[in-house]
Amino acid sequence: MNSSADPLPVVLVTGASSGLGLAIARQLATLPYRLVLTAREGSLGRFAAAGITATDRIHLLPLEVAESAQREGVIREIERRWGGVDVLINNAGIAYRAVAEHWDDAAWRDIMEVDVRAPLDLARLVLPGMRAKRAGRILNVSSVGGMMAMPTMSLYSAAKFALEGASESLWYEVRPWGVHVSLIEPGFIRSDSFRNTRFTQRSFAAAMNDRDPYHAHYQYMAAFIERMMERTVATPERVSARVVKTLRQRNPPLRVYATPDAHLFALLRRLLPRGMYHCVLYRTLPDVRRWGG
């Protein structure tokens, strides 16, 4: 992305203190980039524990992505320090486990602010600089949940579907300036990130109460997701390698299927008639015959 005489490109990674974000940070730290790694203030200590410390080319900043003032402050600090952002990797995100009947306004606002508004607002803030340079990369970490939905994860899919639609529009809008937009779509990754999934008050109560009409949905889906996360061959390091490969490609694709199951689901969507596709997926849900009892 630069000649030997040019300054190193500046890469901003959100949610970089754990999981996939930390794997991305570790890999980029070995490559010729200037890095701005962000995390919630209370999580900044994880960088040192992972062997990442501030240097002349690694800047660690606190960022609560849901706060618009903090988003603007981070971009201003990067512009002051290094002139702007060349590559934006929107990795920070949250997930909720709740059927549609168990949504509440707080969860809806929470996930839309973190998973949709924050990455798009950061893109808005860095785009003037990218357009001026007629170059730049925006990588939005989405999910298989952005191409297909799972029961009990409708809030998450609603957010990821929104991110994917906006990113696709952005792909068209900024190409005339040489700015590339990519969606990273991992499926199950071998990690314990599923333990960080949030619940609404009603969804937590239903998951704990075996007499609730939706209890089986939560019980069997939670066990299924945990099994898949433990058994998959995909790791944060493998997915981060796909992210880094994408940002270094001359003409990166809009959608990057980052795990084997993501490739499989994308293939099923292309090959099967839509009615058959949904029927097949429904029949493969864990112990679905016990649902609705």
Predicted confidence (pLDDT) per residue in 238-288, tens digit: 999 999 999 999 999 999 999 999 999 999 999 999 999 999 999 999 999
Tokens 């240097």 belong to residue: 55
pLDDT tens track for 130-183:
999 999 999 999 999 999 999 999 999 999 999 999 999 999 999 999 999 999
Does residue 5 fall inside a structural domain? no
The answer, yes or no, to whether residue 1 has pLDDT greater than 70, is: no
| Token reading at 293 | 């009892």
The answer, yes or no, to whether residue 36 has pLDDT greater than 80, is: yes
Catalytic residue (choose from 96, 156, 220, 257): 156
Return the CATH number at 262. Answer: 3.40.50.720
Give the distance between the most distant pair of CA atoms in the chain: 68
Does residue 186 fall inside a structural domain? yes
Does residue 23 fall inside a structural domain? yes
Does residue 2 fall inside a structural domain? no
Q: What is the pLDDT of residue 2?
A: 54
The answer, yes or no, to whether residue 293 has pLDDT greater than 80, is: no
Give the CA count within 13 Å in the CB-facing half-sphere of 284.
9
Strand partners, 185: 257
C-beta of residue 65 within 8 angstroms of C-beta of residue 58? no
- % the chain with pLDDT above 70: 98
Does residue 269 fall inside a structural domain? yes
Q: Tell me the C-alpha distance between 111 and 102, whole Å.
A: 14
The answer, yes or no, to whether residue 184 has pLDDT greater than 60, is: yes
Q: What is the pLDDT of residue 191?
A: 85
Contacts of 162 (CB under 8 A, 6+ apart): 112, 115, 116
Does residue 129 fall inside a structural domain? yes
| Token reading at 274 | 């839509």
Q: What is the pLDDT of residue 195?
A: 82
Helix axes 118-133, 154-174, angle to 10 degrees: 10
Kindly report whether the global pTM for this prediction surpasses the value 0.75: yes
Does residue 3 fall inside a structural domain? no
Q: What is the pLDDT of residue 77?
A: 98
Q: Tell me the C-alpha distance between 80 and 275, whole Å.
A: 53
Active site residue 156: yes
Least confident span in 30-34, 65-69, 125-129, 190-194? 190-194
Q: Please give the average per-residue pLDDT across 92-107, as a whole number.
A: 97
Does residue 4 fall inside a structural domain? no
Q: How many domains does the chain have?
A: 1
The answer, yes or no, to whether residue 29 has pLDDT greater than 70, is: yes
pLDDT tens track for 47-87:
999 999 999 999 999 999 999 999 999 999 999 999 999 99
pLDDT tens track for 192-221:
777 889 999 999 999 999 999 999 999 999
Helices (H) and strands (E) in the chain, counts: 11, 9
**What range does the domain containing 92 cover?**
10-290
